[in-house]
């Protein structure tokens, strides 16, 4: 069903879905029938679709399959009344669907359908709040039998136990000396309510038949927490959790039931998206990295010894949790090899580096790469140019590539040059030796004057003699001798 709104100035008109004509909500309206829409210049027509979109819907909020329980024809008697209260009051079970808060609760017709269902079910939980999640333990805290229905309060119910008495205070001596009749902690109730409706009257049903009628909501079987939670999921998802396998799209509760608490967690940010990395296992065992964003798994990495890294990024759970028949993606992983680059470096050039330019855009500073002093940064990467060998450059005293033969030859040449210098010095000293009997070079026996001693101010300061240290403790001084 669609509604057509015609806006002009202060007048708003609505197309009636019954008569197909335009009616005035304020001011004067132009009338039209289903044959066509008459509009003047300057008018704006807004079409609002009030029908909920069909298609994808979470199966936990979809309509249930009616039960098939044989009900007796006679109405309930006093004995059946007592059996229901005695057996079902404080009975425990596991929730099969999310239960909302509030006094309205959920209504189920015996061997019939659920109300509300679908979009109304989701809206009620969003408005009233969630009381019980699927797989959690519940308690039937109160059972009330009326003429045509049975009312079950879950986890304390949506109302206070003494709605009226909790507002009454009794006391003597003044306004500050009164005490409430019923003590109240001030917290709002968080329970839920389920109403089971029969056709004309409540038949003489047994507690076992009532449990069978409530099976779409509550399971009263003996189960472990993992079994109770996985029974609310599709078959393929249940098998994955029982086999301890994590799938992309799982909630954090599913991961905890499948793998337990992680060995370590780390919080990181990729771009503008924060996420948590849950790590399971350690080498040489298989290591699993589960990336969680919000309440969902967005990436799973499997690292196995001696095998390439496996990365899962496509959602597999979304198709299982919806009721529109959406197929599950078959290819959900790819192996990572050599940095996940599928390119042959021997035959293919590396990819062009990222740039802010448009394809084929040229800038004034760009010029031919052959021009000296310029560089063209577009196109594929060029081969790496190594620096020039400067071995023979006289400015470098260290040979970049030393040669053993050249080093030995240079050493022998240096030894020959030193020997030649020594021979030349010996010849020079022999020719300069004085002849025998020549006393001109003899020293005189005259006393020589002592050299002048420099003044204390001119004498250089002698370095301080370090104090002797101990043999055992170098940092301590040697004790003075007695």
As a whole number of angstroms, the distance between CA 473 and CA 136 comes to 72
* Residue 92 falls inside a structural domain: yes
| 215 in the same domain as 254 | no
Q: What is the pTM of this model?
A: 0.53
| 127 in the same domain as 144 | yes
* Residue 173 falls inside a structural domain: no
* Residue 17 falls inside a structural domain: yes
| Residue 36: per-residue pLDDT | 43
User: How remote is the C-alpha of 148 from its chain's centroid?
Assistant: 50
As a whole number of angstroms, the distance between CA 303 and CA 284 comes to 10
SS3 213: helix
Which of 336, 357, 385 is a domain's end point? 336
Let me know the angle formed at the C-alpha of 188 by 185 and 189, rounded to the nearest 5 degrees.
Answer: 105
pLDDT digits (tens, 9 = 90+) for 270-321: 888 899 999 999 888 899 999 999 889 999 999 988 889 999 998 888 888 8
| Residue 51: per-residue pLDDT | 43
Instruction: Give me the domain span that covers residue 271.
Output: 238-336
As a whole number of angstroms, the distance between CA 482 and CA 469 comes to 17
| 326 in the same domain as 272 | yes
Q: What is the DSSP letter of 412?
A: H
- Write a three-state SS string for 298-330: EEEEEECCCCCEEEECCCCCHHHHECCCCCCCC
| 213 in the same domain as 71 | yes
Domain count for the chain = 3
pLDDT digits (tens, 9 = 90+) for 350-397: 677 778 888 778 776 655 555 555 555 555 566 777 777 777 765 555
| 88 in the same domain as 45 | no
Do residues 219 and 212 lie in contact, with contact meaning Cβ atoms separated by under 8 Å?
no
| 278 in the same domain as 135 | no
| 305 in the same domain as 214 | no
Q: 106 is written with which tokens?
A: 């959920």
HSE-up of 176 (CA within 13 Å, CB side)?
A: 0
| 133 in the same domain as 92 | yes
* Residue 245 falls inside a structural domain: yes
Residue ranges, the chain, pLDDT below 70:
1-56, 175, 323-350, 364-382, 393-404, 406-407, 429-482
| Residue 361: per-residue pLDDT | 81
| 296 in the same domain as 198 | no
Let me know the angle formed at the C-alpha of 433 by 430 and 437, rounded to the nearest 5 degrees.
Answer: 145
| Residue 252: per-residue pLDDT | 93
| 112 in the same domain as 258 | no
Angle between helices 252-259 and 235-242 (to 10 degrees): 50
Q: What are phi and psi of 166, to 5 degrees?
A: -70, -10
Spell out where 210-312 has E strands.
218-219, 264-270, 273-280, 287-293, 296-303, 309-312
């Amino acid at each position: 069903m669609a509604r057509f709104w015609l806006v002009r100035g202060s007048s708003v008109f609505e197309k009636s879905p019954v008569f197909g004509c335009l009616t005035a909500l304020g001011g004067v309206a132009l009338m039209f029938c289903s044959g066509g829409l008459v509009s003047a210049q300057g008018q704006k027509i807004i079409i609002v679709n009030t029908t909920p979109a069909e298609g994808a819907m979470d199966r936990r909020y979809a309509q249930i399959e009616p039960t098939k329980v044989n009900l007796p024809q006679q109405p309930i008697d006093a004995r059946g009344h007592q059996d229901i209260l005695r057996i079902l009051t404080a009975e425990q079970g596991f929730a099969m669907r999310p239960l909302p808060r509030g006094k309205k609760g959920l209504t189920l017709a015996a061997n019939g359908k659920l109300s509300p269902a679908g979009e109304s079910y989701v809206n009620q939980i969003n408005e009233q709040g969630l009381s019980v999640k699927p797989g959690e333990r519940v308690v039937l805290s109160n059972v009330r039998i009326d003429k045509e229905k049975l009312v079950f309060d879950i986890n304390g119910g949506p109302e206070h136990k003494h709605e009226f008495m909790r507002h009454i205070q009794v006391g003597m001596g003044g306004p500050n000396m009164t005490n409430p009749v019923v003590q109240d902690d001030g917290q709002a109730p968080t329970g839920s309510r389920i109403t089971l409706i029969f056709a004309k009257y409540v038949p003489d049903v047994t507690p076992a038949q009532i449990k069978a009628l409530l099976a779409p909501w509550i399971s009263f079987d003996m189960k472990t927490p993992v079994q109770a939670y996985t029974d609310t999921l599709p078959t393929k998802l249940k098998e994955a959790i029982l086999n301890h396998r994590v799938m992309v799209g799982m909630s954090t509760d599913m991961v905890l039931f499948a793998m337990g608490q992680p060995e370590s967690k780390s919080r990181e940010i990729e771009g503008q998206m924060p996420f948590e990395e849950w790590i399971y296992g350690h080498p040489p065992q298989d290591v699993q990295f589960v990336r969680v964003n919000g309440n969902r798994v967005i990436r799973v990495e499997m690292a196995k010894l001696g095998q390439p890294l496996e990365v899962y990024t496509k959602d597999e759970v979304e198709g299982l949790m919806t009721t529109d028949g959406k197929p599950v993606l078959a290819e959900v992983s790819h192996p990572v090899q050599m940095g996940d680059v599928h390119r042959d470096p021997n035959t293919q050039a590396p990819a062009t580096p990222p740039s802010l330019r448009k394809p084929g855009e040229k800038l004034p500073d760009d010029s031919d790469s052959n021009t000296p002093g310029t560089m063209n940064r577009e196109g594929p990467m060029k081969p790496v140019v190594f620096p020039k060998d400067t071995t023979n450059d006289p400015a470098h005293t260290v040979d970049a590539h030393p040669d053993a033969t050249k080093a030995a030859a240079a050493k022998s040449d240096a030894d020959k040059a030193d020997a030649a210098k020594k021979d030349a010095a010996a010849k020079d000293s022999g020719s300069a030796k004085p002849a025998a009997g020549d006393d001109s070079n003899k020293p005189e026996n005259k006393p020589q004057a002592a050299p002048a001693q420099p003044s204390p101010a001119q004498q250089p300061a002698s370095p301080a003699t370090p104090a002797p240290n101990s043999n055992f403790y170098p940092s301590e001084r040697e004790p003075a001798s007695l």
